[in-house]
C-alpha cells in the first residue's frame, strides 16, 4: 500500500509518522508531502530517511491512501486531486467534516458505515473524538438529551507556533505570539474564531460533529473552549442529561468495557484523568464519574486524551487500518 502523509513536517504530521511506524502498516512506498519551504527536507520514518516532496510529485507516485494534516485550505484544493489520481483521502482538517456526503469517522463508533465509494473521509476535531468515544456507548443505552462541556485545551492543539510561545514565556524570552494574550500562568476562553452568536468556531464544531458522529441531531449541546498552559493533552468537564434515570454502576461497567477507554476514578487515592498521564497514549481516560445532584437524570464526567494521538494522528491511522483490513481501498 502506497501511503502519503500531507503535512508531514507539522506537529500532527510527525505524530502520524510515529503512529504509522508503531502500528506496522509497512507501506510499500511512503510519500512525505509538505509546503514548498519544506521540499527536500529529510524525514525519518520507520528506520529510513525520506525527502519531502510537493503535491505534483506525490500525485505522480499515485498513493492509494493520502492522510492530510495541512489545514482546511490545502485539503479543499488538493484532496479532490488526490482522489482523481486514485487515492482515498483521510483528512484531519475541518474542510469536509460537515459535508453530508463525507463520512466523519471515529473507528470504534462508526467505521461500519464506510464503503469503497467513500474517497474522502473526515477525521473529527480532537476534542470531539475523545468526548464521543466515551459518550457513544452510554448514549446507546440511556439516550443523551443534552451535553454541557467545557474543554481545557493544550497549546499543541494550536500548533508549533503556540508551543514556542509557551516555551518562550516560561524562559522569559520575547518572541512571536500565536495567541492574543500570554498563555503561561494564564488561560483564556478562546479557541477558534468568534462568531456572531458569541460562540467560537471550535465550540460549534463540538456541537455539530458530535451530532453527526452519534447520528442524532436531537442532542442539545453547549460548549465553552478554554486554552490552558499545557504542552500536551486536552481535558473536558462534561455534564450529560439523559432521557431517563440511569444506574451509576452500569455507567462504570459500560465505560470499563469500551474499546479505547480507560476508567481512572478513585478520588480517595487522588486517581483521576490528567493530561500528564495521557501523553503519548492512544487511549481516552475518564474519571470523576458522579451523579449530578442538581438535575434529575444527569451525570458528570472528566475526560482526558492526548490531542495529537487519539485526537488526531491515531484516529486517522486507525481509519487507514480499517480501510486496508476491510479491502475498502
Which residues form the catalytic set? 126, 234
**Residue 182 gets which letter from DSSP?**
-
- Give the number of other Cβ atoms within 10 Å of residue 180's Cβ: 7
* C-alpha span between 304 and 326 (Å, rounded): 30
Contacts for 73 with CB less than 8 Å, ≥ 6 apart: 95
Residues 304 and 278: beta-carbon distance below 8 Å = yes
* C-alpha span between 3 and 282 (Å, rounded): 21
Q: Which helix (H) or strand (E) holds 254?
A: helix 248-256
Residues 78 and 16: beta-carbon distance below 8 Å = no
Q: Which helix (H) or strand (E) holds 137?
A: helix 126-142
* C-alpha span between 12 and 7 (Å, rounded): 8
Residue with cell 488561560: 187
Tell me which residue of 223, 239, 215, 27 sits closest to 106, measured CA to CA: 215
Contacts for 216 with CB less than 8 Å, ≥ 6 apart: 139, 144
* C-alpha span between 192 and 110 (Å, rounded): 26
**Residue 125 gets which letter from DSSP?**
P
Tell me which residue of 74, 191, 216 sits closest to 135, measured CA to CA: 216
Residues 300 and 147: beta-carbon distance below 8 Å = no
Amino acid at each position: 500500500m502506497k501511503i502519503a502523509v500531507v503535512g508531514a513536517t507539522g506537529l500532527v504530521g510527525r505524530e502520524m509518522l510515529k503512529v504509522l511506524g508503531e502500528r506496522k502498516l509497512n507501506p510499500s512506498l511512503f510519500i512525505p508531502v509538505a509546503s514548498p519551504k519544506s521540499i527536500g527536507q529529510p524525514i525519518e520514518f520507520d528506520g529510513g530517511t525520506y525527502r519531502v516532496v510537493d503535491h505534483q510529485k506525490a500525485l505522480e507516485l499515485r498513493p492509494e491512501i493520502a492522510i492530510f494534516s495541512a489545514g482546511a485550505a490545502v485539503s479543499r484544493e488538493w484532496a479532490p486531486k488526490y482522489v482523481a489520481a486514485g487515492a482515498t483521502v483521510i483528512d484531519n482538517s475541518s474542510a469536509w467534516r460537515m459535508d453530508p456526503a463525507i463520512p466523519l469517522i471515529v473507528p470504534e463508533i462508526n467505521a461500519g458505515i464506510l464503503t469503497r465509494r467513500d474517497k474522502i473521509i473526515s477525521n473529527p476535531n480532537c476534542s470531539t473524538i475523545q468526548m464521543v468515544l466515551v459518550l457513544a456507548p452510554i448514549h446507546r443505552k440511556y439516550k443523551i438529551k443534552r451535553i454541557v462541556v467545557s474543554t481545557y485545551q493544550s497549546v499543541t492543539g494550536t500548533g508549533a507556533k503556540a508551543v514556542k510561545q509557551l516555551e518562550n514565556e516560561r524562559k522569559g524570552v520575547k518572541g512571536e505570539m500565536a495567541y492574543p494574550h500570554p498563555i503561561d500562568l494564564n488561560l483564556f476562553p478562546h479557541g477558534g474564531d468568534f462568531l456572531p452568536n458569541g460562540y467560537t468556531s471550535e465550540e460549534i464544531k463540538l456541537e455539530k460533529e458530535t451530532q453527526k458522529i452519534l447520528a442524532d441531531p436531537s442532542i442539545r449541546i453547549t460548549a465553552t473552549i478554554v486554552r490552558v498552559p499545557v504542552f500536551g493533552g486536552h481535558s473536558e468537564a462534561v455534564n450529560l442529561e439523559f432521557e431517563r434515570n440511569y444506574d451509576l454502576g452500569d455507567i462504570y461497567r459500560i465505560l470499563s468495557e469500551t474499546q479505547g477507554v480507560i476508567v481512572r476514578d478513585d478520588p480517595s487515592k487522588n486517581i483521576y484523568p490528567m493530561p500528564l498521564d495521557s501523553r503519548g497514549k492512544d487511549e481516552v481516560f475518564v474519571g470523576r464519574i458522579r451523579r449530578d445532584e442538581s438535575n434529575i437524570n444527569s451525570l458528570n464526567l472528566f475526560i482526558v486524551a492526548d490531542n495529537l494521538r487519539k485526537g488526531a494522528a491515531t484516529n486517522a491511522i486507525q481509519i487507514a487500518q480499517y480501510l486496508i483490513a476491510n479491502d475498502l481501498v
